[in-house]
């Protein structure tokens, strides 16, 4: 039988609908990302002089001619940033991201600075929480991240863990609270994330959260012993990652206690 005699390949209506939905979601994510690129600009909460490429100061106009929307008032979503598994990117589920963001915001004020080290899903959750805060009360945010897609945010500071201390000198000792989520379960990666964390933190009573694998417990204890970081009962949840994850912190809260079998 010749190829000319073969019937053309056809998809079922269900498959066609699923394909159309996939392309629609992909297009929506692209449009959301483009809107972030054009709408992001240094606003309250950004660290002066430490910004990525900025966009126009005004957000795009709505089609109904409503006033321009302040980018800091937009509801953000990690759906605009697809995970790159080659970069070991696995975003936290929204519930986890918001819970961690709330812990970082507890007790924060306009004079506070919150550092987010390789944890962009928590950064987005922080931005969404702060939409509901008066501008004059919002703490500063700094996102330390290797993925340049996040330079759409003015709080972005490029971070490469292979050069862990190549950071702006003005940030030394400036961070009140920090969350760290190293991308790899290796002693080299974990150590190179702990170095800048200690360098960035204020010397008095910083709030520290480390999210990484359960099997990293002994190394986390060694790297953050001076900050009294211990495993907690809270277990962060990801989409598409089955590794047993722990949340380590140097404080207890209404969300978590120390793991009784891990700390004194």
Residue segments in the chain with a per-residue pLDDT below the cut of 50: 3, 21-23, 41-68, 263-264
* Residue 141 β-bridge partners: 114
Cβ-contact 45, 156 below 8 angstroms: no
CB atoms within 10 A of CB 135: 13
According to the model, what pLDDT value does residue 9 have? Answer: 57
pLDDT for the residue numbered 55: 39
Cα radius of gyration (the chain): 21
C-alpha angle 216-164-129 in degrees, rounded to nearest 5: 75
The per-residue pLDDT for 254 is 95
Residue 4 is predicted with a pLDDT of 55
Closest CA to 204 of 220, 223, 227: 227
How far is 244 from 239, CA to CA, in rounded Å? Answer: 13
Residue-level pLDDT at 83: 64
Q: Where are the alpha helices (DSSP H) in the chain?
A: 13-39, 94-105, 120-130, 187-200, 217-223
Q: What angle do CA 209, 40, 163 make, to 5 degrees?
A: 45
Q: Taking the domain 12-55+70-249, which CATH number applies?
A: 3.40.50.150
Residues 6+ apart with CB under 8 A from 131: 72, 73, 74, 75
- Structure tokens, 98: 């918001």
């Amino acid at each position: 039988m010749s190829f000319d005699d073969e019937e053309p390949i056809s998809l079922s209506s269900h498959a066609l609908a699923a394909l159309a939905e996939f392309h629609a979601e992909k297009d929506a994510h692209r449009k959301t990302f483009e809107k972030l690129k054009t709408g992001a600009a240094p606003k309250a909460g950004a660290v002066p002089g430490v910004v990525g490429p900025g966009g126009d100061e005004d957000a795009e106009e709505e089609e109904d001619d409503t006033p321009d929307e302040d980018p800091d008032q937009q509801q953000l979503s990690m759906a605009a940033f697809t995970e790159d598994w080659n970069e070991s990117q696995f975003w936290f589920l929204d519930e986890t991201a918001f819970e961690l963001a709330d812990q970082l915001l507890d007790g924060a004020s306009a004079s506070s600075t919150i550092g987010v080290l390789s944890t962009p899903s928590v950064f987005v959750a922080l931005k969404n929480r702060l939409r509901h805060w008066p501008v004059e009360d919002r703490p500063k945010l700094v996102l330390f991240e290797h993925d340049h897609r996040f330079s759409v945010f003015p709080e972005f500071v490029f971070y490469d863990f292979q050069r862990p201390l190549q950071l702006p000198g003005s940030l030394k000792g400036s961070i009140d609270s920090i969350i760290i989520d190293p991308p790899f379960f290796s002693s080299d990666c974990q150590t190179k994330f702990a170095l800048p964390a200690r360098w960035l933190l204020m010397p008095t009573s910083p709030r520290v959260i480390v999210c990484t694998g359960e099997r990293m417990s002994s190394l986390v204890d060694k790297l953050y012993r001076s900050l009294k970081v211990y495993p907690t009962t809270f277990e962060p949840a990801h989409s598409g990652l089955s590794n047993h994850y722990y949340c380590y912190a140097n404080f207890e809260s209404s969300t978590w206690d120390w793991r009784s079998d891990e700390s004194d």
